[in-house]
Amino acid sequence: MLTALIWGLIAASSLLIGAVGGVIRDWNRRLVGLVLGFGAGALIASISFELAEAGFRASGAWAVALGLALGAVVFYAADKAVDRMGRNGTQTAGLPLLLGALLDGIPEQTALGIGIATGAGVSLALVVSIFVSNLPESIGSATDMKDAGHPAAKIVGGWALIAALCALATVGGYQLQNVVGAQFEGAINGFAAGALLVMLVGSMIPEATEKAGENAGLAAVLGFAVAAGLSVAG
C-alpha cells in the first residue's frame, strides 16, 4: 500500500506543479494545447495496454465491456453535475474547476493503484500519462482563477488538496483490487477505462485541438508512441 501511495503522490504532484506555474506566470496557449494533446495520446495508450488488455486477460471481454459502460455513465453523470454547478453557481473559489480536476484524476489514479495491486509492478506509461495530462489542466485552471481575482495562496492550497485526494485514489484502487480479487479485475479496469475515454473525447482532446489546432493530433501520436513504448518496455 505504501508503494501505491508513493507513486500516487508522484503522479498527482503535477497538479500542484501546474497550479504553481499558473499562478506565477502566463503560459502560451498553443504550448498548453500541445501538452494536452501529448497527454491525451499517452492516456489512450495506457487505456489500451494497461487497462483494457490486462482486463481482457484477467476476466474476459464481457467483464471489461460492462465496466466500460458503467464507468462511462458514472463519469458522464458526475461531469454534468459539475458543469451545472459552474453555470448556476458563483464560481466561488473556483470550486467547479477544482471538482472537475478531481473528477478527471480519480479514474486515472485508481487505475494506477489497481495495476500495482495486481503484482504487475508500477506502470511507468500510466504514471507518465497522468503526470503529463495533469499539467495543462492545472496550469489553465489556476490561471483562470488568478485572473478572476482569487488569492494565490488559496489557489495553490486548493490544488494541493486535489492532488492529495487523487493520490489517495491510488491507494483506494489498490485496496479495491485486493478486496474484490482477480476475478473482478477486468470490470474494475473497464470502469476506469470508460471514465477516462469519456473525459478524453468530451473535454481533453477538444480543448487540445482548440488551443493547438492540427498540431494537437501530431502531439497525441507522439504521446501515444511514448506511452506505448513504456508499456512494452515495462
Per-residue pLDDT of the chain (234 residues; tens, 9 = 90+): 888 889 999 999 999 998 999 888 888 888 888 988 888 898 888 888 877 887 888 788 888 899 899 989 988 888 887 777 666 554 544 566 567 677 777 877 887 887 787 766 677 877 887 888 788 778 877 877 787 788 889 889 989 999 999 999 899 888 877 776 666 778 878 888 888 898 888 888 988 899 899 999 999 999 899 888 877 765
CA distance 61 to 50: 15
Q: Report CA 54 to chain centroid distance, whole Å.
A: 19
Residue partners of 130: CB distance under 8 A and separation at least 6: 11, 12, 14, 43, 105, 108, 109, 112
* Burial (CB count <10 Å: 0-12, 13-18, 19+), residue 203: middle
Residue 183, pLDDT score:
60
Residue 89, pLDDT score:
53
Domain that holds residue 102: 2-233
Total number of domains in the chain: 1
Residue 93, pLDDT score:
42
Helices 29-46 and 124-147, axial angle in degrees (round to 10):
150
Q: Is 25 helix (H, G, I), strand (E, B) or coil?
A: coil
Residue 92, pLDDT score:
47
Compute the CA torsion angle 16, 17, 22, 23 (nearest 10 deg): 70
